[in-house]
Amino acid sequence: MGSERLLDPFIAAADRALRALAAPAHASRPCPPAGSAAATPTPLDDAQRRESAALMRVNHAGEVAAQALYHGQALAARSPATRELLLKAAEEEADHLGWCEQRLRELGSGPSLLNPLWYAGSFAIGAVAAAFGDGASLGFVAETERQVEGHLDEHLRRLPAADARSRAVVDAMRKDEIAHAAAARAAGAVELPDIVRGLMRATAKVMTRTAYWI
């Protein structure tokens, strides 16, 4: 019985990984912009559709990575309160995953073929971050979300003006990321060293540039 209890967190982590990578994403909240005039997709020309699809594929890959980061951090979290905060954020990121998947289907495209790689790498990074303590782990959340906010701001500038539907999804995601960063800071996040923030930016750049095409 004792060994089974020790394995429970790892079994749960494996289940979350399979759900993130293999199961269709199901959002608990309606896909933006439900209930508005932009809910009906606007016809896009081929160039606009390709650009929107590429950017939404990057966003989808980012959400896969976010799921993995939070799952890795939750596995190694030291306090139940930190673990709960991380898993709650992961649930909201699952909404983003579902929204991006839906929008990709509408655009006649699909997710990055390298999603298993993004998940595995991000899970490992999350577990390592958590090994330095809950304060450092929460600092990692706050910095990740700050960088993601900037990345989503850039996408709002690059998405075709006619694609109100994708823009609404990205804007809703951006608001959630800001809230996640604020929650992490309120829970005791510590500021990360400059070198760590720089490495995070470099790693994110590799993923976003690759997922844009593959």
Domain boundary assignment for the chain: 2-21+48-211
Average pLDDT of the segment spanning 188-201 = 90
Model confidence, pTM? 0.85
Q: What is the 3-state secondary structure (H, E, C) of 140-205?
A: HHHHHHHHHHHHHHHHHHHCCCCCHHHHHHHHHHHHHHHHHHHHHHHCCCCCCCHHHHHHHHHHHH
Start-to-end CA distance of the chain, whole Å, equals 45
Could you tell me the pLDDT band of residue 22, with boundaries at 50, 70 and 90?
Answer: low
Percent of the chain with pLDDT over 90: 47
pLDDT of 6 higher than 70: no
Q: Give residue-wise pLDDT tens across range 84-93.
A: 888 888 888 8
Determine the Cα–Cα distance for residues 167 and 103; give it in Å rounded to an integer. 11
Q: Give residue-wise pLDDT tens across range 37-46.
A: 555 667 899 9
Q: Spell out the CATH class of 2-21+48-211.
A: mainly alpha
